[in-house]
Amino acid sequence: MKIAFYEVTEGWQVDYLKQRLPGHEALFFSESLSDITPPLADAEVISTFTNSPITDKVLAQAGSLKFVTTRTTGFDHIDLKACQDKGVLVSNVPFYGENTVAEYTFALILSLVRKIYPSVKRIKEEGRFNFENLRGMDLKGKTIGVIGTGHIGQHVVRMAKGFAMNVIAYDPYPNEKFAQEQGFAYTSLEELLKASDVVTLHVPYMPATHHLINKDNINLLKKGSVLINTARGGLVDTSSLLYALKSGILAGAALDVLEEEGFIKDEINLLTEGHPGEEQLKTVLADHELIYMDNVIITPHNAFNTAEALERILDTTADNIKAFAAGSPVNLVKAK
Ligand code: NAD
């Protein structure tokens, strides 16, 4: 089959995909599929990405197209209805980074509670080899409150058990079977905030979860607890977070995402586009004061970014194409 890959910007990805698709004619374009780069008219498969929308117009130009496979989880850049009307099937990458983000969550938790950043700074920047003011907290026996027990949250639960932590969780759709297997209980959000030494967020951002942590519930947090956010910035009201840090309710926070990032739909955008409005973000960060606080760690939306997670995206894409070619497509998405 003739397959056109758009927005493949790193050379290793070309070799990686070619190896996994023997017998197919794969063509790679670093450009996105747009008015300037019309689709390859005789391609039977298009592998698209966030900046390569599949529209009516693209479909009209891609006369041989039978299958679209996007190298993303989200598929809002694809007109599913138009594809359906033309008999073009569409697949996505439903997940790729659940353990990846959970591992990063623990990297942040440990960095925060064991003061790794100031410890490294002590030596590298201050040239002093002492542990004054660097005392941390054990994780063993402490309570971790996991908000959202989906793909990532479940890995966090398992990892927390490995540290001999007590786990409690909040999720409007509790997975009781998993809770039983892992030996933890679901509570209300309020109970979770009151009881947890570490609170970690793993829920999607949507109207119902906007400012899930807010001025009305921030006071419920256990004094001296820490908050970890690797999900989406908009889940936490930044001014309430600042208040909790300044008033000593929170001993610290580790954030891989910021509220102003709300417009970033998919982690993978960051690889091709960088952070939009970088200067603007810096200003907002400064405004928020968070960046200057010793007990706050901020990282640049990096939790998903491992070689293995990126390889999983390409593996799933190659599998999607092979399954389609074999007549039994997988990971299909349909118009609702
Ligand atoms: P998932 O869909 O598998 O799980 C989400 C869970 O949240 C589900 O169990 C759902 O029931 C629960 N939920 C929904 N509404 C809730 C609410 N109001 N309160 C509590 N729980 C609620 O998603 P996932 O794969 O575990 O990912 C979680 C989030 O992590 C993603 O939505 C994404 O925003 C974020 N993420 C961040 C990075 C990064 O690089 N920082 C990478 C991947 C994902």
Q: What confidence tens digit (pLDDT) does each residue in 66-123 have? A: 999 999 887 888 999 999 999 999 999 998 999 999 999 999 999 999 999 999 999 9
Strand partners, 67: 45, 89
Give which of 210, 262, 218 is closest to 239, Cα–Cα.
Answer: 218
Separation of 203 CA from ligand 1 center, angstroms? Answer: 3
> What SS3 class is residue 47?
strand
What pLDDT does residue 264 have? 52
Atom of ligand 1 nearest to the CA of 149: 9
pLDDT for residue 279 is more than 80: no
pTM for this prediction? 0.88
262 pLDDT tier (thresholds 50, 70, 90)? very low
Nearest CA, atom 33, ligand 1: 231
Query: Could you tell me if the CB of 266 is within 6 A of ligand 1?
Result: no
Separation of 202 CA from ligand 1 center, angstroms? Answer: 4
Q: Compute the residue count for the chain.
A: 336
The two tokens of residue 25 are: 């004619």
Would you name the residues annotated as active-site residues?
232, 261, 301
From residue 33, how far is each of 7, 14, 47 by CA, in Å?
A: 8, 17, 10
Whether 302 contacts 107, CB under 8 Å: no
Separation of 301 CA from ligand 1 center, angstroms? Answer: 15
What pLDDT does residue 197 have? 98
The two tokens of residue 172 are: 């409007």
CA distance 302 to 309: 12
Question: Once rounded to an integer, what is the mean pLDDT over residues 231-237?
Answer: 90
Atom of ligand 1 nearest to the CA of 152: 26
260 pLDDT tier (thresholds 50, 70, 90)? confident
Query: Could you tell me if the CB of 94 is within 6 A of ligand 1?
Result: no
From residue 89, how far is each of 4, 46, 156, 278 by CA, in Å?
A: 15, 11, 34, 37
Whether 53 contacts 61, CB under 8 Å: no
Strand partners, 47: 5, 69
